[in-house]
Structure formats: C-alpha cells, structure tokens
Amino acid sequence: MKASGVTSTTGSDIPGAWDRGVEKLGLMALHRLDPERAHGLSIFALRSGLAPLPGLVTSDRLRTSVAGLNLANPLGLAAGYDKNAEALAPLSRAGFGFIEVGAATPRPQPGNPKPRLFRLTEDRGVINRFGFNNEGIEAIATRLESRPRDAVIGLNLGANKDSTDRAGDFAAVLARCGSTLDFATVNVSSPNTEKLRDLQGKAALTALLEGVLATRDSLDRRIPIFLKIAPDLDAEGLSDIAEVATALSLDGVIATNTTLAREGLRSAHGGETGGLSGAPLFEKSTRVLARLSELTEGRVPLIGVGGVSSAEQAYQKIRAGASAVQLYSALVYEGLSLVPRIAEGLHQLLARDGFANVAEAVGTGRKDWL
C-alpha cells in the first residue's frame, strides 16, 4: 500500500510499476507505422502479454458507484479501442475501473475505406472515420461469454450502415449478448455512419430507447443502459436529450462522442473528414457535460469523455458533473501507464480538496463551465 492509500492488485508502487523509458520507445516505434496498423499491433501486444499491467487500481477515495455499478475507480476505457472484445482479460488488468468495447453491429461490416485513422500529433488529437467496422455480434458475443468476471465490462451498441431498421439493430445486439454485460451504451452519436446522428432527435430517440429498454427488461438480469451523445448538439438538441433521458429514467448519459468541429488545429491532417477526439475536444465536451448536468439536475448519472489526458482534467470532468470518466485518444500519446498515473493523481486531488470520495466532488465546479 502506498502512503497515499492507492493500491494495485500487483502489490507494486503504481508509478514505479512501469518502465516509462521502454514504454516511450514502444510508442515511438508505433508512431512510425500507419495509425490503424499500430492500433492493431497494440491489441496484439496486450493479448500476447507484452505490455506491463498494474492490475486493479483503487483506494477508498477512488471507489465509487455509477448506476448501480461498483467501480474500483472512476476511470473507464472508452469504446472504439477494443472494437471486437479481443483483449478483455489484459484490459481488465490495465488499471481501469470499467471497460467499454465495441461498437458492435448485428452483422459484420468492413467500415469506411482506408486510410481512416489520423494522428494529429501537434494537437494531441486523433481523427477517425472508421464507420463501425467490426466482426459482428456473433463473434463479439462469443468472446464476451468468456470475459473476466471480476471486471466491469460494457458494450457499445451500433447499427449496420445498410440496415433498414437501425433502431431495431440496437435492440438486436443487446438481445444477443446482454446477459454477458454489466452495461450497454446506445451509440447514436458517431459522425461516421451516414444519418446516424438523426436518431438523436427527440421522437426518434425516444422510440429507439424504448425498444432498447424493453429488450433490457426481457433479459435475465437488469443492466444499466447509457446513451452516448455528440458534442455538436445545439441548445435545443441538448435540452431534448435531457428531457428524454429523464422521462425514460435512463441509467446514464456519456458526454461526449467525437466532434465535427475543426477550430484551431495545426496538424497536417486537421482537414480530414471524420470525428475529432483528443485534446482539442476537452473544452467543448466538458461544457456540454456541465450543461447537461444542469439540465438533468443530477437525476441522470453522467460519464465524461473527451480530451482527458491528466488527473487534473479527469478531476475537472468530475467537478463539471461526471460521476465517472472515460479516456482513449490520450493513450495514443501516453500509453497505458497513463491510467494508473491519472488514478494516483486523482486520489491526491480529492484528498487535497477534502473530498472523502469521488461522489462528493461530482458537480462542485459545474458553474465554472457554464
């Protein structure tokens, strides 16, 4: 146990458990490759046991509960990294409090033409236009059936691009694998599937969610259903989201997905089409989070995602209204050692400000973002 009270299941000192020099060399090598190939190799390295993993990272201050999910810490892996649930076991030992895989669609689909993933190194950002490429729910469900049972694992639900019933696709994915999950996320906010964001409209969203919730209620156990929204919603659209989430007693909202905005980018790939994530998204996504927190008046748990690359930024998301936080793009530049470093730093920030736990800090700085 560290003096701060933060522990890992490896029993090691968390910052010292990682050889940052080796990790930096590995990241340099990956950054010499095409981004999508590097992504695949990182999954392979995890599956092969080549990456050092700290195990579960937790403390009395970091332990929290979101929508009935008991989390060792509030840091989650966002959907999009492990699209096909290939690395569930190693990711469950990477320090995250919860993991979201997918997005999964009923049928396999290749996604959009390559290249479709771009590093924006100068901006510490990423643009992708994958288009829900995945192996389909049958392959993913089979892997989820042998998932680690001591981890909190959820699935991002998607729809096939050529589907004639996209709302039905979300329910179909949930029906196939809901019994293996701890939570599921309805993803109507990806900018890379044509007209998918149209489902964020009030009437369409209500109908879609009612179908998903009915499917959830038919499962052998109740799991939380989250909704992932775009950061590009206008005031009316965000108000509609809050109204629908509250009226349907949704278990939570993930704010936000990637953005179509491109202000202030310096990188050569800044003009590529697709969704922008990483550092350029932090302020925009946090303002949406804070506004949604105000609109829902704390009645709907929120998960903050977008541009988190430090303990201070995770803490800002929590104080803006998030009960938990997800990250992904920052791992491209910092590696998996970022997870325990953020957990350790977040514990220290909570202690500095006199919070006994994460829940006490939620929303205490919301006004700074409105």
Give the relative orientation of helices 338-352 and 311-320 as an angle to the nearest 10 degrees. 60
Q: Are 173 and 105 in contact (CB under 8 A)?
A: yes
**Residues in CB range of 181: below 8 A, 6 or more apart:** 144, 153, 154, 155, 223
Query: What one-character DSSP code corresponds to residue 155?
Result: E
Backbone angles phi, psi at 357, to 5 degrees: -160, 175
Tell me how far CA of residue 336 lies from CA of 49, 77, 228, in angstroms.
13, 10, 24
Distance, CA of 281 to CA of 291 (rounded, Å): 16
User: Per this entry, what is the length of the chain?
Assistant: 370
The residues annotated with a catalytic role in the active site are: 190
324-327 and 75-77 as β-strands: parallel, antiparallel, unpaired? parallel
Q: Please report which residue ranges of 248-328 form alpha helices under DSSP H.
A: 282-296, 311-320
By three-state DSSP, how is residue 37 classified? Answer: helix
57-58 and 7-8 as β-strands: parallel, antiparallel, unpaired? antiparallel
Task: Give me 33's structure tokens.
Answer: 């490759």
Backbone angles phi, psi at 144, to 5 degrees: -65, -25
The CB-side HSE value for 94 (13 A sphere, CA atoms) comes to 28
